[in-house]
Amino acid sequence: MRILMVHGRSQGGKVADEVRDIWAKTLQRGFAAANVVWPAGIALDFPYYADVLDALAVKAALPDTENVIAKGSGSNAPFEQFLQSALAEMQLNAAISDVEVQAALDPAAPQEKGVQNWWWVQAIARTIDRRLHHTANFTIERFLRDVYVYVTQRDVTQRVNAIVEAALTSEPTIVIGHSLGSVVAYNVLRANRSRLDLRAFITVGSPLGLRAISSKLGIVENPAGAGNWYNAYDQRDVVALNPLSDRYFPADPAIENSNHVRNETGNRHGIVGYLNDVDVAARIAAALE
């Protein structure tokens, strides 16, 4: 039996084995909290694509809200529309009031509400970042940039997927995807379901419930089959506010969702706050039996 761990963004410049060890040790703590014995001889696969993604994201040179405000819109209209749509969706899903956004808006800027005002779009991003407790190396704009590059640029998708696909074997496997890694794992499973003995697909902190993202993936589906996809999230995690339900991710067969997690990391999104969760660990343990 193997566990294939697919990491999210903001992992660039790190040592792959060290990141894998953080995942493994955290999951072991989750097993202990769930009173489950860590199985001897379990193989942990950790395909590391972070440096490749970072380099490709830099090469893409996508504008951020500062660029759009300074130079005007239109330099990359598809991405600008994605950013507007995703941030507006996040504001709604996170129940961020216009009053909160207004407080983050430059008093000298145009005060019109709505995503046609780029100052307003920037204020939404700033408001979300404040909820992330200024976590190092994570802003919502960076996150959305990396997701967009992965889901829309074919060469990026192929190169990242190839790194993960190289770790696939014919052995019974549990796949765990975190954050952007859940999107990568989803695409890899769709393309490789016939060559993988998949025992469970576990997603945590997944942004697949954002329509701005899922709309870029074509017809959504459940590549894990009935009863084999478990999606856990923290309702305070602005990246993963929506369940993968009929309303947000209408896959057939249905995906099992759980919003019970209380992620203790600074942005409520970190992998440590998901893998040490008792119920998440228990589901992984059950799939190992």
Statement to judge: residues 46 and 118 lie in one domain: no
Q: Cβ of 116: how many Cβ atoms within 10 Å?
A: 11
The domain in which residue 180 lies consists of 2-50+151-288
Separation between Cα atoms, residue 184 and residue 187, nearest integer Å: 5
Statement to judge: residues 82 and 174 lie in one domain: no
Look at residues 95, 127, 150 and tell me which one is the last residue of a structural domain.
150
Q: Reading across the β-sheet that carries 172-178, which strands appear in turn?
A: 43-45, 2-6, 172-178, 197-204, 229-232, 256-258
Statement to judge: residues 137 and 160 lie in one domain: no
Statement to judge: residues 87 and 172 lie in one domain: no
Instruction: Convert the pLDDT of each residue in 100-135 to its tens digit.
Output: 999 999 999 999 999 999 999 999 999 999 877 655
Least confident of 10-14, 22-26, 159-163: 10-14
Statement to judge: residues 112 and 160 lie in one domain: no
Domain harbouring 28, CATH code: 3.40.50.1820
Statement to judge: residues 182 and 267 lie in one domain: yes
Statement to judge: residues 196 and 260 lie in one domain: yes
Statement to judge: residues 244 and 157 lie in one domain: yes
> How many domains are there within the chain?
2
Statement to judge: residues 263 and 274 lie in one domain: yes
What percentage of the chain carries pLDDT values higher than 70?
A: 98
Statement to judge: residues 116 and 83 lie in one domain: yes
pTM (2 d.p.): 0.96
Instruction: Convert the pLDDT of each residue in 251-283 to its tens digit.
Output: 999 999 999 999 999 889 999 999 999 999 999
- pLDDT surpassing 60 at residue 136: no
Q: Cβ of 120: how many Cβ atoms within 10 Å?
A: 25
